[in-house]
Amino acid sequence: MSSLLIAWQLKDKNVLIVGGGEVASQRVDSILPTGAHIALLAPSDGLNPRTRCLIDEHSDSITYYDRRFSGPDDLIGADMVLTALDDVDLSRDICNICRTAKIPVNAADIPDACDFYFGSQIRDGPLQIMISTNGNGPKMANIIKERLQKALSGLEGQAITKVGALRALLKIRAPGVGGAVSKRRMKWMSSLCNAWTLEELVLLDDAMMQKLLDVGWENDRIPTFEEVGGRRPEPDYGNPLVPQAIGFIAGALLAFYLLKLGRRKWRSLF
């Protein structure tokens, strides 16, 4: 059976992490970029140095409680619970309470108690890629992640940001959810993404976006990059002083050699 891979929204939600070891620090890493508020429950003598460091550095996002899990009341207000404990029985107990309270829960290293699993991730701005082996091999997920990373050009995140900005402008110009306008918007955006390269999308600026909508959207066609005023940056050859100096020296050496050769030839002639 496979999982349903989804992008869960946690902005302004409350996430409770029970435990303070290495896995807990990885959970904090996963949750911090989502904009959730984290409550971390662990006795300070069991805190991993990295977890302690994260708590100190992100005190605006993390509230730390220096104590053990004490019962169902600890879960009040939580929108998601992550346990990272060595105590398997306690972890299972917490999962059961969560299930009754309908709070999504993940228990590290106890797959059958989890509502959801984590996976390897690639992030590049608004782009997020998750690799899951459905619990068959976390290391394999990492190996595949590295392979996929090499296949990305590094421009994807920036291109998506520009496409998102253009899409927002288009929604202002042609508003409405669902129905014909929604379909036309989707089709036009899709054609643009197909027609333009990643490099061209990255170079989109405000003026070009306006022109794209004026010339393209209004006439239901996809203008080229050049048509909306797109200009590729001049190739950058770096500091010109070094090649200049090399050229100067080479020229001087050649002149010197020719002069010498010339003199000898003259000598041989006369």
* Footprint (CB under 8 A) of a second copy, residues 72-111: 85-88, 101-104, 106, 109-110
Q: Is 167 in the site for a second copy (CB under 8 A)?
A: yes
Site residues (CB under 8 A) for a second copy, limited to 214-233: none
The DSSP-derived string for 54-70 is: HHHHTTTTEEEE-S---
Q: Least distance in Å: CB of 265 to a second copy?
A: 59
Asked if 24 and 81 count as a contact pair (C-beta separation under 8 A), the reply is no
Cα–Cα distance, 141 to 163 (Å, whole number):
29
For the sheet containing 37-41, what is the strand order?
62-65, 37-41, 14-18, 80-83, 105-107
DSSP reduced 3-state for 19: coil
Among 50, 52, 68, 118, binds a second copy (CB under 8 A): 118
Cα–Cα distance, 64 to 20 (Å, whole number):
10
Size of the site for a second copy (CB under 8 A): 73
| Residues that are catalytic | 109
Q: Least distance in Å: CB of 256 to a second copy?
A: 54
Site residues (CB under 8 A) for a second copy, limited to 175-204: 177-179, 182, 186, 189-190, 193-194
The amino acid present at 270, given as its one-letter code, is F
Site residues (CB under 8 A) for a second copy, limited to 230-259: none
Q: Least distance in Å: CB of 190 to a second copy?
A: 4
The amino acid present at 167, given as its one-letter code, is R
Q: Is 119 in the site for a second copy (CB under 8 A)?
A: yes
Q: Is 172 in the site for a second copy (CB under 8 A)?
A: no
